[in-house]
Amino acid sequence: MVALRETLLLLLPNLFWGAIAARPCSGVPSDMSYCLSWRVAVEANNAQAWRTVPAQCTRYVEDYMLGGQYNRDLDTAIDQIFIYLNGTLAPDDGMDAWILDVDDTCLSNLLYYKDKHFGGDPYDPSAFKSWAQKGVCPAIPAVLQLYKRLIEKGFKVFLLTGRDEVVFRSSTSQNLHAQGFTGHERLILRNQAYRGQGAAVFKSAIRKQLVSEGYRIRGNIGDQWSDLSGDCIGNRLFKLPNPMYFVP
Amino acid sequence: MVALRETLLLLLPNLFWGAIAARPCSGVPSDMSYCLSWRVAVEANNAQAWRTVPAQCTRYVEDYMLGGQYNRDLDTAIDQIFIYLNGTLAPDDGMDAWILDVDDTCLSNLLYYKDKHFGGDPYDPSAFKSWAQKGVCPAIPAVLQLYKRLIEKGFKVFLLTGRDEVVFRSSTSQNLHAQGFTGHERLILRNQAYRGQGAAVFKSAIRKQLVSEGYRIRGNIGDQWSDLSGDCIGNRLFKLPNPMYFVP
């Protein structure tokens, strides 16, 4: 009797798994289900080195970016940052630092990507250069609010971007100030030594340098995993949503 | 005229942002939109140290786990692992290793969590002990397939679990074998020295030891970020979906 029960118990999970695996996706269209999975794989850093949004997902990404879920995801991420922030000690000796990426972290490129099928088109360096040099990227409101709170609390905020120093220093600096990002410790752009290198390599080197100056990196925020990987990544990482492009 | 155009260009993003921020969530119910954001925050490691699924999301998580999207997300993650695997060199000297977690990576606890409101109830150590000691957790089919491929290709596979060595060695080993997980190099459970310590601490120490033995950790797969954080994490990390519980 016990043996029979044990046998049934051993078989049960397999039957159960078969049953749930066969159950359809609650009426969710197949493309949408796939694109949601793909987006989650991007956010979890499972999907890497992709060049464009998969063709069947450009409409999905458009809806995601404009339909409210992107803003919801941003707000949820920022809420988590505030929870962490409220549980940490206030800065003391002026060496507690936060690192924030710029593109699609502080400043939004959504207006630009709207004309690029929300990442359905391949990266176009010269078009992006023209756009970024205009210096008209809007702040991401939830990030601006957090940024101001960090500065108020006495953290040293470092803005760290893969944008080229020579090409973009002046437009980026002006854009950030115009959008209310004032009071940060430094705006660090990619200098000649790191041209052509991956963002993670460049950003790791800069973070290492900051740590060697005595800064403690309390938090690190970016929309790309290359902002959040490598050396001296910081005490907590926060990945902001971005299904439109991948920066290696 | 140019000045006017520039002014308009500067204002445009703010108008645009306001417009998209105000646009509602395409008819998606508010709870579902929130719960999706919360789930993405879990997968991206933004949400940490949560004890239960938020009350308004237990039904959402049930639908996610049973309605097909969980299986879709698993398949998408495993697809990414195969893409990475196909782009890496075949193992050579027998020292190329992969590390896989056990609970909800190799073996599914979905049957157990079905009775715990899919993570809506707080963790119940004695109930989980009874469940895990039965040794009846079903394999996650997509992971079993990948596991077999890793072994076939000649990788050394280490199964690394936070389950207690004394309490769970025999049931876990038997469960894994019964479900087809045979041929791994070692099954490593938490020994007395790491009782009460975080999973990341224990798993880091074990990975360090493997690296000191000469193993190269080519890939590391888990359903918890504590599987994928700390020292010697490996060349690539893969986060399998799990919105039911958080292991620190």
Output DSSP code: residue B235: S
- Mean model confidence pLDDT for chain B: 91
- B98-117 per-position pLDDT tens digit: 999 999 999 999 999 999 99
Model ipTM? 0.90
Alpha-carbon span A215 to A62, nearest angstrom = 39
CB contact under 8 A, A38 and B136: no
Residue A89 pLDDT class (50, 70, 90 cuts): confident
Alpha-carbon span B203 to B218, nearest angstrom = 16
Question: Is residue A132 in some structural domain?
Answer: yes
Q: Does B86 touch chain A (CB under 8 A)?
A: no
More confident position, B6 or A87: A87
- Provide the greatest CA pair distance for chain A: 80
A34 pLDDT higher than 90: yes
Question: Is residue A23 in some structural domain?
Answer: no
- B197-240 per-position pLDDT tens digit: 999 999 999 999 999 999 999 999 999 999 999 999 999 999 99
Question: Is residue B18 in some structural domain?
Answer: no
Q: Does A7 touch chain B (CB under 8 A)?
A: no
Nearest CA in chain A to B65: A20
Cβ neighbours of residue B20 closer than 8 Å, sequence gap 6 or more: A65, A66, A71, A110
Domain that holds residue A93: 35-239
Alpha-carbon span B1 to A231, nearest angstrom = 49
pLDDT mean over A122-139: 98
Alpha-carbon span A147 to A98, nearest angstrom = 9
Q: How many CB atoms lie within 10 A of CB A141?
A: 19
Question: Is residue A246 in some structural domain?
Answer: no
- The count of structural domains within chain A is 1
Alpha-carbon span A60 to A120, nearest angstrom = 11
Per-residue confidence (pLDDT) for residue B2, from 0 to 100 = 41
Per-residue confidence (pLDDT) for residue B21, from 0 to 100 = 40
Name the residue with tokens 């108008």.
B15
Question: Is residue A21 in some structural domain?
Answer: no
Alpha carbon dihedral A175, A226, A212, A171, in 10-degree steps, equals: -10
- B114-161 per-position pLDDT tens digit: 999 999 999 999 999 999 999 999 999 999 999 999 999 999 999 999
Per-residue confidence (pLDDT) for residue B47, from 0 to 100 = 98
B contact residues 24-63, partner A, Cβ 8 Å cutoff: 24-26, 28, 33-34, 36-41, 43-48, 63
Residue A92 pLDDT class (50, 70, 90 cuts): confident
- B39-82 per-position pLDDT tens digit: 999 999 999 999 999 999 999 999 999 999 999 999 999 999 99
Per-residue confidence (pLDDT) for residue B90, from 0 to 100 = 79
**Most B CBs within 10 Å, among A76, A112, A220, A240, to test the B interface:** A76
Give me the CATH number covering residue B115: 3.40.50.1000
Alpha-carbon span B103 to B160, nearest angstrom = 10
Per-residue confidence (pLDDT) for residue A28, from 0 to 100 = 62
Sign (positive or negative) of CA dihedral A127, A132, A135, A139: positive
- Listing DSSP states for A161-178 in one string gives EEEEHHHHHHHHHHHHHH
Q: What are phi and psi of B52, to 5 degrees?
A: -140, 160
Q: What percent of chain A has pLDDT over 90?
A: 85
Q: Which residues pair with B217 in a beta bridge?
A: B97
Per-residue confidence (pLDDT) for residue A234, from 0 to 100 = 97
Cβ neighbours of residue A129 closer than 8 Å, sequence gap 6 or more: A167
CB contact under 8 A, A71 and B38: no
Residue A90 pLDDT class (50, 70, 90 cuts): confident
CB contact under 8 A, B45 and A17: no
Residue B92 pLDDT class (50, 70, 90 cuts): confident
pLDDT mean over A30-55: 97
Alpha-carbon span A180 to B231, nearest angstrom = 38
B247 pLDDT higher than 90: yes
Find chain B residues with C-beta within 8 A of A38's C-beta: 76
End-to-end CA gap in chain A? 59
A229 pLDDT higher than 60: yes
Q: Which two tokens stand for residue B176?
A: 């894994």
Name the region of B222 (left: φ>0; alpha: ψ -120 to 50; beta: rest).
beta
Question: Is residue B24 in some structural domain?
Answer: no
- A187-221 per-position pLDDT tens digit: 999 999 999 999 999 999 999 999 999 999 999 99
From residue A169, alpha-carbon distances to A98, A128, A208, B12, B20 in Å are 20, 15, 22, 22, 29
CB-based contacts of A194-203 (< 8 A; 24+ apart in sequence): A195/A164, A198/A226, A198/A248, A199/A162, A199/A224, A199/A226, A199/A227, A199/A247, A199/A248, A200/A226, A200/A227, A200/A229, A200/A230, A200/A248, A201/A230, A202/A162, A203/A160, A203/A162, A203/A227, A203/A230
pLDDT mean over A50-61: 98
Name the region of A117 (left: φ>0; alpha: ψ -120 to 50; beta: rest).
left
Question: Is residue B128 in some structural domain?
Answer: yes
